[in-house]
Structure 1
Amino acid sequence: MRNMSFEDINPAEIPDLDEMNIDVTKSKREKILGILESGKNPYFIKSGNIVVKVGFASTSRTIEEALESLVQMKW
């Protein structure tokens, strides 16, 4: 699933962020397991008509740290 491209996916089958119900009382691990057990491709998500491919590197850097660096570089 990770190696799939935008051409390989059907946008109608991608979960929409606006329609997702995430239980914020669950731990990070439980939330991740819920997504993986849903049967959906965890590497693609959409918001309205915009499809986003999610990727990651095998480092200790968190998404929060990466976004913070991006904001600091941009502004």
Structure 2
Amino acid sequence: MQNVDPLTVTADNLVDINDITVNKELSKAERIAEFIKQIKNPYCFKCGNFIVKARYTDNGLSMEDCLQSIIL
């Protein structure tokens, strides 16, 4: 899944992240599982007309944490 090339992938085969809804009352593990179930490939998906290639690290920092450290 993480080896998908965003330059060659067919956009119609990707899920738009704007269409994902996850119940916030679920546990963290259940929310993660539900997100992955809906997005199908968490490494490559659409956001509107854009194809997004995501990478994840093991250090536990969220995107929000990373952006705050850059901005603040």
Q: Which bracket does the TM-score occupy, shorter chain normalised?
A: 0.7 to 0.9
CA contact (8 A) 2:17 2:39 kept: no
**CA shift in 2, pair 1:30/1:40, >3 Å:** same
Query: By how many angstroms is 1:6 displaced?
Result: 0.6
* Paired position in structure 2 for 1:30: 30
**CA shift in 2, pair 1:37/1:17, >3 Å:** closer
Query: By how many angstroms is 1:11 displaced?
Result: 0.9
TM value normalised by structure 1: 0.72
TM value normalised by structure 2: 0.74
Dislocated runs of 4+, deviation >3 Å: none
The two structures, once aligned, show a CA RMSD in angstroms of 2.1
* 3-state SS, counterpart of residue 9 of structure 1: coil
Unaligned runs of 5+ in 1: none
**CA shift in 2, pair 1:69/1:21, >3 Å:** same
* Paired position in structure 1 for 2:7: 7
Unaligned runs of 5+ in 2: none
* Paired position in structure 2 for 1:62: 62
Distance, in Å, in 2 between the alignment partners of 1:12 and 1:62 is: 28
Distance, in Å, in 2 between the alignment partners of 1:36 and 1:17 is: 11
Partner amino acid, structure 1, of 2:65: E
Greater Rg over alpha carbons, structure: 1
How many positions carry a matched residue from both structures?
72
Task: Percent identity, please.
Answer: 26
